[in-house]
Amino acid sequence: MLRKLPMKGASIGLGDRIGLATEGHIKAVKDAKLFPVFAQQSIRELGFTGRSFKEVINDVMKAIKRTKYDSSFGFDGDHLKSESDIEEALEAGITILTLDCSDEINKTSGLEEALIREFSGRSFRINRVNIHYTEEETLKVAKTYAGVIEKTLKVWEKISHLQNRLSLELSIDETPFPTHPKAHFLIGKSLLSRGVRIDTLAPRFPGTFEKGVDFKGNIKEFEKALAIHHQIASFFGYRLSIHSGSDKFSIFPSIGRITKGNFHIKTSGTSYLQAIKLVGIKDKKLFNKIWETSIERLNEARRFYSLSADPQNILEHKDPLDLFENENARQILHVSYMFVLKPESEIREKFIGLLRRYESEYHNLVAEHIEKHLRALGLSARR
């Protein structure tokens, strides 16, 4: 029942850093109008948790068997960069390859001159939107994204024969600046004209998409950008992908409405947050150990994740659950998996042991939280 992403409709990447959340995911999506990606893991997450892609899919398949789930689902090798990581993910049986091209942005490429010839001075029309490239704009976009296009072409050469079973997502969202619509159009047209078939593309939207908290920024600006990016994606026959999409409740209705339910969204870390919440309910001593470790090693986490969290803005808490109402604390707890789940961590065994003892309660917490996402996105069968 593993398969690639559908060409149309909604899909959601759920992910599971621990290997115990899938039954909760199944409970949340079984009656929803979407395609679930139960197995979603980034190569960065695997590095911190000591798991492999094969272990990720094996954990999902166990949950599939236990629940007798009989619908299709996907397996996403997320944020892949190197050739060796891509090969490992393909060998494990991924059905979605998310190619992270952030390292190729602003990288010198032999494609720059060709792109300048193809786009400089030209105009294109998408529905009622006219896109015109001045020489200056073309030079800037080509210099910024030629390396992205070149990297995607190289990967496509290796995987194009798998396109009947494998979806390709292009990720250009991990940048300090939003993706301009003219950059998106140039990338989409350049790849299509060179025979590359992508299924989803993740641009960098205006505003801030931080871990475990709501969207920060001007919602009207986000909606305007989402609308034009959606038009460009639809024009070329693929869908948009929204990364770090968990807990962005203020913009979920906009995403569902503007795309008409035609999008992919990734939510992996929010299921880990529900595991931490369960620890806070059941074992305050263990929770406090996790919290203290997270605060002590916050600067280390910042090397890998963009976090605005300021510990000075977190009041003393008597109940661990108070922290889940504070966006600074939520961000810090969201990335604490780096220290909690690493194989040599003294916390790991106690943490996973607690989740196993209260597995049913953990699944309920996960299901309730994911259902909240689906309702806001307009995807839940239960209103």
Q: Is 310 a catalytic residue?
A: no
Tokens found for residue 231 = 């038009």
Please say whether the beta carbons of 34 and 10 come within 8 A: yes
CA distance 325 to 172: 31
CB atoms inside a 10 Å sphere around CB 55: 15
CB atoms inside a 10 Å sphere around CB 166: 20
Per-residue burial over 311-321, b if 16 or more Cβ lie within 10 Å, else e, is: eeebeebeebe
Tokens found for residue 29 = 């999506």
Backbone dihedral angles phi then psi of residue 318, each to the nearest 5 degrees = -90, -35
> Pairing state of beta strands 129-132 and 123-126?
antiparallel
DSSP characters over 242-278? ESS-TT-TTTHHHHHHHTTS-EEEE-THHHHHHHHHH
**∠ Cα 192 147 5 (to 5°):** 45
85, 169, 247, 283: the active-site residue = 169
Tokens found for residue 263 = 């999008």
Q: Is 169 a catalytic residue?
A: yes
Beta bridge partners of 40: 76
CA distance 55 to 170: 24
CA distance 363 to 334: 18
- The distance of Cα 42 from the centroid of its chain, to the nearest Å, equals 9
CA distance 202 to 2: 22
23, 59, 78, 173: the active-site residue = 78
Active-site positions read 78, 169
